[in-house]
Structure 1
Amino acid sequence: MSQSSTAIFGARRDQAFPVLAEADIERMRRFGEASAYAAGEHIFEAGDVSPGLIVVLAGKVDITQDGKFGRRETIVTHGPGSFAGELAQLSARPSLVNAQAAEPVEAFVIPSQRLRDLMVQEANLGERIMRALILRRVGLLESGTIGPIIVGPADNGDVLRLQGFLARSGQPHRVLDSKTDPCAKTLFEHFQVDPHHLPVVLCPNGRLLLNPAEKDLARCIGLLRPVDASKVYDVAIVGAGPAGLAASVYAASEGLSTIVLDCRAFGGQAGASARIENYLGFPTGITGMALMARAYNQAQKFGVEMVIPDEVKLLGAATDGARYQLAVGDGETVRTRSVVIASGARYRRLDVANLAEFEGTSVHYWASPIEARLCGGQEVALVGAGNSAGQAAVYLASQVRKVALLARGGSLEASMSRYLVERIRAQPNIEVLTGAEIEALDGEAGNLATVRWRDRSSGASTTRPIRHLFLFIGADPNTDWLAQSDVALDARGFIRTGSDIASAHGVMETSRSGVFAIGDVRSGSVKRVAAAVGEGAQVVAALHAFLARDGSQAGAPQV
């Protein structure tokens, strides 16, 4: 164990880097293939797909990261009984680190598919391995010295967009402020970058991207791979929020071939929650990102194929063993026997003329540590009166000088959980302004300078020097992509299911046989994380029933 790993992983380093007993190694052998490496041989490099989980029988393997000025820094040295790998090996994604044989090595390699088999068939051993893989990823995230490098002004909207995408995707990354960081200048000179092209992203494989879209960045770092148009899935799930991830875990664990698609990142709106305290089983609360990351990793453990970020554009009929096909991304097609729509809702925007000018730099729709760092020591305004608004206000109050919480209604109690109302009242730096609505935003070059709001009862206006505004004013159903898909919607655009549809078999089925809707996008659903997870579990029974009726069921239910 190197000093570097001790510093990064702290008290949990023994769990992150366990030494397996001989009996455990023997149980793992049947999942792997024998391999040997000569002293100095590069086993895998950052940016390349690793052969799998490497269990060391003899010799030593150095795990390194590429540090500043081209120097490689050792994270940990694996000896006999240790294994090399982290979460990337679970889904055959490109490695985040380098592995090199420090001396002649005897080992066996467990490829990704067999690693997932091990997780299921050897539950106790699989639990220890999964914990180690997760802790290693957490350590890499916390180190802040690995992964793609974003270069640009720290407060630039596109820098924040790319940084937010990588953070919500659980990907380690670095941000170099082009105004202050000397390493940024070195990169500019090496790649001959025009400052007008900022931000740029340097991927681990050496490619340089100029202000990329999230999809392009995901492809460069191996998060997003081409869809196999020849494969027919048992179920395609559109949306990777709590409902979609729950459905994927239960479907895949019961033998259904499952693919999940989302146009942004896993976690949905729940992933942006600063702290969820009323979710069953977490008495001390849990961040939305942590909860959703666990679900995402759990889905991958059962072999769910993730296509994120990639946008579904159309739901249509198919032939040759598939009932439906989804038009995805750049001309790609997903073929499937059934579809679960869990596309959730999109953030509602203020009706202010110049709102778009400040979105991404000064107007935010979630409150993560990225936004909090921008607001340190400042007064911020937050609009909303639901639980998400309350969670965000409490979190921001711990990071900023003052939070002005604006609510259109006469009180918070009508729409916010009591525990949050009480906590807000207990925070000395949260000012609650009921019956208030935003009137105007003012600033220049995309940076907010002042916010003006109006008291709805008196008509009096107030203007304050506020540079960051947070909006939690509800959401509209994300169903525009269904416009030509013959899926019945209610008057507000939510998907009608169950008793609303004469032909539906069960409460989750839509107007199209074999197409189901769950979570926030479903008309009449309860807008809570627990309810979404429950619907994700419930819909799998309906999937089994449909596939049995349809005569195309690949896996049998295990209930």
Structure 2
Amino acid sequence: MSDVSAVTSDPATNGEGTRRSRPAILVVDDEPAVLAAVARDLRRGFGERHRILRAGSGAEALEILRELRTRGDQVALLIADQRMPGMAGTAYLVEARKLFPEARRVLLTAYADTEAAIAAINEVALDFYLLKPWDPPEEQLYPVLEDLLTTWEAGAALEAGGLRVIGHRFSKDSHDLRDFLARNRVPARWLDVERDAEARALLKVTGVADDRLPVALLEDGTVLERPTVLELAERVGGLTVTPAEEHYDLVIVGGGPAGLAAAVYGASEGLRTIMVERQAPGGQAGQSSRIENYLGFPVGLSGSDLARRGTDQARRLGAELLTVRDAVALRVEGAGRIVELSGGATLSASCVLVASGVSYNQMTAPGFPELTGAGVYYGAAMTEARACERQQVVVIGGANSAGQAAVHFAGFANKVTMLVRSTVARSMSHYLIEQLAALPNVEILEGTEAVAVHADAGRLRHLDVRHADGTVAPMEVDACFVFIGAAPRTDWLAGTVARDELGFILAGPVVREHGWPLQRDPALLETSVPGVYVAGDVRARSIKRVASAVGEGSMAVSLMHEYLAGA
């Protein structure tokens, strides 16, 4: 028997006295005793925050989901047994995902079904699989589901934010604001002035003219016309843009995996730690739609989720995170290391970790500079994914970041075309190549490159593609995402820290040949300036992987303790 009646019988009251439904958890199992036991455990662990609905088959569960969607209710978690007559759990989750794509998905399996569960990770973007039985639930069930629900709630909060931004989709200024808010996980709603009637109505009420877009409407009623990212950051809650202290044990420049790892380890080991990030925590990895080869996450995780987890962990342990500030210079004053920031502020430190990462190389072919943010984007630009629904998308590049983006956009776009100068086998992981080959709406054109892009009414319309035989042909496109290598962000260290010919920072024994001033040997990750360390992609000859960046960030903190003990 299904819980269809429960869809309409479990209201909750919010703080304003209006009635609304709690987000639902829907569990499906064909064995009544097992279903009752699962529902009991779920009510005990999550009943205060969520409605627990149940169904005895996949078909009944889909009926419940259709009714929930019709009512506009939220579904946070879908739990399904794999072995069910008529419709297996994986088949049900495929259909359920179409109705509630943002809901977390969990498969209940016996030990003998482990292979099916692992296969479902790719088939239905499974978030987790649980082996039955899970006794006690406090250890085997609740921690897993709590983590999944926390992830869902973080995304739901972003969608329901009181901050509203109105602008044009194909506007660089609008894109920059949207991207900043999304990557910093600031709850906000985006309203396209050309598509959303609500946007036009709000502009009429506020009296803002079209030539003053984008506009941000804050929760306190303030209207910001054409704000910069820094101006918006200073007004929204939850972001720190000015340091709390004058001196720190450790200043970390860059908030990618290496910087976040150093912030976690530095703060946990008692160092007064501050991390400076010019855009948003997560760095380049934070823009990844899916990281599937990071140890300990068998179903993978998004770069955004990795950044959120790392940021929360660092803050909980006492690290200070400074957002929308960029390091512009480094000075040495005796035992002190002074980091100069954009806007004129400075940070004094005993040790500095440079984890500033890399920036995507820019296309210089005709049209690309002018259309950046207006159809041409660098990196995955996850804020644009939903806007690509039923459109033609081009991904330029053939490494893992390009492949991950293509897989993600394939879930929205009619067609995704990858333009690869050589071959994907040269620089892409095997698991990604297999995923791309299985997607019917992804086409990989090897030996090709984009030589120009063309606009109409200020937005991207088509690009010229040179094929392997030298011919050039036009290709219609609605959005183009570029991943053509990256350059280190180290210009601010010129003349202070030794770098190689490409700008990557030298570290370890090699810096003895580049002005190392002490008799002791430099530490493995120490730069040519004692007490200044480097970690992650910005280090010369680094391994460009999330796991290695995290390892270097944590290792750098251990080396700093040795430096401080001998200082």
Same fold (TM over 0.5): yes
CA drift of 1:156 comes to 3.1
Instruction: Quote the Cα distance in structure 2 between the aligned partners of 1:535 and 1:269.
Output: 16
- 1:367 alignment counterpart: 380
Aligned in 2, Cα 1:239/1:222: closer, same or farther, shift over 3 Å? same
**Compared with structure 1, are the counterparts of its residues 8 and 368 closer, same or farther at alpha carbon in structure 2 (3 Å cutoff)?**
farther
Structure 2 vs 1, CA of residues 9 and 369 (structure 1 numbering), >3 Å: closer, same or farther?
farther
TM-score, normalised to structure 1's length?
0.73
Aligned to 1:241: 256
Residue 312 of structure 1 deviates from its aligned partner by 1.1
Change beyond 3 A, Cα 1:296–1:18: farther
Matches within 5 A, 1:125-136: none
Q: Aligned match of 2:392 in 355, 379, 391?
A: 379
Q: State the match for 1:498 in structure 2.
A: 508
Relative contact order, CA 8 A, sep 6+: which one is greater?
A: 1
CA distance 1:269–1:228, shift in 2 (3 Å): closer
Rounded to whole Å, the distance in 2 between the matches of 1:134 and 1:455 is 44
Partner residue, 2:322? 307
Partners of 2:225 and 2:45 in 1: CA distance: 39
Shift of 1:132: 7.6
Which residue of 2 is the match for residue 74 of structure 1?
A: none
Task: For 2:370, give the aligned amino acid.
Answer: E
**Quick check: 1:9–1:139 contact (8 Å CA) kept in 2?**
no
Structure 1 stretches of at least 4 aligned residues deviating more than 4 Å after TM superposition: 3-6, 9-19, 128-138
2:480 match: 469
Q: Indicate yes or no: 2:206 matched with 1:194.
A: no
CA distance, structure 1, for counterparts of residue 332 and residue 24 of structure 2: 50
- Confirm whether residue 272 of structure 1 aligns to residue 287 of structure 2: yes
Number of the residue aligned with 1:260: 275
**Aligned: 1:437 with 2:462:** no
Distance 1:138-1:16 versus aligned 2 partners, 3 A rule: farther
Task: State how far apart, in whole Å, the 2-side matches of 1:408 and 1:533 are.
Answer: 31
1:130 and 1:227 mapped to 2: Cα distance?
36
Does structure 2 retain, via aligned residues, the 8 Å contact 1:233–1:337?
yes
Is 2:437 aligned against 1:425?
A: yes
Q: 1:509 aligns with which of 496, 505, 526?
A: 526
Q: Aligned letter for 1:250?
A: Y
- Correspondence 1:405-554 to 2 at 5 A: 405-409=418-422, 411-456=423-468, 458-484=469-495, 486-502=496-512, 503=516, 505-550=522-567
Partner residue in 2 for 1:142: 156
Deviation readout 1:120-151 (Å, 9 max, x if unpaired): xxxx99xx999989957853642523231101
The residue type equivalent to 1:139 in the other structure is: E
Q: Distance in 1 between matches of 2:363 and 2:241?
A: 37
The verdict on how the C-alpha distance between 1:140 and 1:270 changes in structure 2, with shifts beyond 3 A counting, is closer
Mapped partners of 1:335, 1:510: distance in 2: 18
Question: 1: CA distance between counterparts of 2:216 and 2:240?
Answer: 19
**Percent of paired sites with the same residue:** 38
Within 5 Å, which residues of 2 pair with 1:4-83? 6-8=21-23, 10=25
Distance 1:158 1:226 in 2: 20
CA-atom RMSD in angstroms: 2.7
In structure 2, relative to structure 1, the CA distance for the partners of 1:389 and 1:500 (3 Å cut) is: same
**What's the offset of the Cα at 1:189?**
3.9
- Structure 1 partner of 2:93: none
User: Which secondary structure state, in structure 1, belongs to the residue aligned with residue 261 of structure 2?
Assistant: helix
Compared with structure 1, are the counterparts of its residues 133 and 532 closer, same or farther at alpha carbon in structure 2 (3 Å cutoff)?
A: closer
Deviation at 1:17, TM superposition (A): 8.4
Local SS of the residue matching 1:296: helix
**Structure 1 gaps, min length 5:** 20-123, 551-559
Asked if residue 335 in structure 1 is aligned to residue 348 in structure 2, the reply is: yes
Q: CA deviation at 1:157?
A: 2.9
- Shift of the alpha carbon at 1:369? 4.5
Alignment partners' CA distance in 2, 1:157 and 1:444:
16
Q: Distance in 1 between matches of 2:243 and 2:402?
A: 40
Aligned twin of 1:554: none
- Given that residues 16 and 131 in structure 1 are in contact (C-alpha distance below 8 angstroms), is that contact kept between their aligned partners in structure 2? no
Residue number in structure 1 paired with 2:37: none
Contact 2:508 2:526 in 1 (8 A): yes
